[in-house]
Structure 1
Amino acid sequence: MSVRLPPHAQARLIERGATEAELIATVESGTTFPAQLSRTRFRRNFSFNAEWQRKVYAMKKVEAIAAKEDEDWMMSAVIVNFF
């Protein structure tokens, strides 16, 4: 199984403060939920303890929405929340 990121999703991942390694960890070991259009939503919290946009946050939640294509996951959205 691999995670595929189209260029648009990869750019958004960086803009929103997540790494590709965090995204892969979210897909591999995060909680899964059904999403619209036969997609799957993945969610995982990470310890952060750092600054993001001039504020310090203890945790980061990464959510990804993906469609299964053969044995791969094609990402369509990445959402990052800091708290």
Structure 2
Amino acid sequence: MIVRLHPHAQARLIERGATEEEVVLTVEGGVTFPAQFGRTGFRRNFSFNAEWNGKVYATKKIEVIAVQEGENWLVITVIVKYF
């Protein structure tokens, strides 16, 4: 399986504090959920224990919205939540 990132998703990585490795791990091993327009969502928590925007958080949750292309996935967007 290959996980590719749409340019929109690549831009969201930078501004939201995720890495491409975290996105791939989320698609490969995250919990799936149905998303709008027939897309698939993936969700996974990562230990963070670091500062983001001036506040320290223990956990970073990555949510990925993707479209399946045969056996591969095209990531459309990435959402990051800190807690």
TM-score (norm 2): 0.95
Which structure 2 residue ranges, 5 or more long, are not aligned?
none
- Counterparts of 1:64-79 in structure 2 under 5 Å? 64-79=64-79
Quick check: 2:64–2:79 contact (8 Å CA) kept in 1? yes
Would you say how many aligned residue pairs link Structure 1 and Structure 2? 83
TM-score (norm 1): 0.95
Q: What amino acid does structure 1 have at the position aligned with 2:82? A: F
Instruction: Name whichever structure is richer in helix by fraction.
Output: 2
Identity of aligned residues (%): 69
Cα RMSD for the two superposed structures: 0.8
Whether 2:58 is the aligned partner of 1:58: answer: yes
* Other structure's SS at 1:18 match: coil
* Other structure's SS at 1:28 match: helix
Which structure 1 residue ranges, 5 or more long, are not aligned?
none
